[in-house]
């Protein structure tokens, strides 16, 4: 079924949500090959004002110890909102175009990548770059599935 409704979207807000640096770890002694990234994210809907809110955090880990925490919070406007968000429930929401959520997540990942580059500049791990993340890995954990 083809829809004649055009969806418009944009970023309302994008900010550094969190940043933590573990000063107890000697960064010059780290084996960079053993550094790992762990992601966490939350996607929610706001009805007043209408928007999609994504909070994403990346933990840079070394031997199961957190070295760096970098987080971002973004609010995206989508119009017409109720043509994009079909159903809002306590445990999640459904959208008509899940690929648009993937776009929003990609924006957040890019923002975190830039924040990490800025915050790690001048440190022994400034060359550590957030890897490209396959969107199917993240979106599989982002959208609600019907049973």
Q: Are 57 and 40 in contact (CB under 8 A)?
A: yes
Structure tokens at 62: 């070394």
User: Biggest alpha carbon distance in the chain?
Assistant: 58
Q: Rounded to an integer, what distance in angstroms lies between the CA atom of residue 34 and that of residue 11?
A: 35
Render pLDDT for 70-110 as a digit per residue (tens, 0 to 9). Answer: 999 999 999 998 888 887 777 778 888 888 898 999 999 99
Q: Are 20 and 66 in contact (CB under 8 A)?
A: yes
Binning pLDDT at 50, 70 and 90, where does residue 1 land? very low
Least confident of 18-27, 47-56, 136-145: 136-145
Binning pLDDT at 50, 70 and 90, where does residue 3 land? low
Q: What average pLDDT score do residues 119-129 get? A: 91
Question: CA distances (Å), 85 to each of 44, 45, 51, in order?
Answer: 11, 9, 10
Q: Strands 65-79 and 50-62: what pairing? A: antiparallel
Residue (of 11, 39, 13, 18) closest to 103 by Cα position: 11
């Amino acid at each position: 079924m083809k829809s004649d409704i055009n969806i418009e979207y944009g970023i309302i807000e994008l900010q550094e949500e969190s940043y933590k640096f573990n000063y107890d770890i000697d960064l010059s002694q780290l084996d960079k090959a053993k550094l790992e990234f762990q992601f966490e994210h939350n996607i929610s809907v706001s009805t007043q004002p209408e928007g999609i809110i994504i909070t994403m955090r990346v933990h840079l880990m070394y031997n199961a110890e957190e070295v760096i925490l970098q987080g971002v919070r973004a609010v995206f406007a989508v119009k017409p909102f109720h043509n994009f968000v079909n159903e809002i429930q306590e445990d999640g929401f459904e959208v008509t175009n899940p690929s648009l959520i993937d776009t929003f997540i990609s924006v957040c990942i890019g923002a975190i990548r830039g924040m990490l580059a800025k915050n790690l500049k001048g440190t022994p791990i400034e060359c550590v770059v957030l890897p490209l993340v396959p969107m199917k890995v993240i979106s599989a954990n982002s959208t609600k599935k019907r049973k």
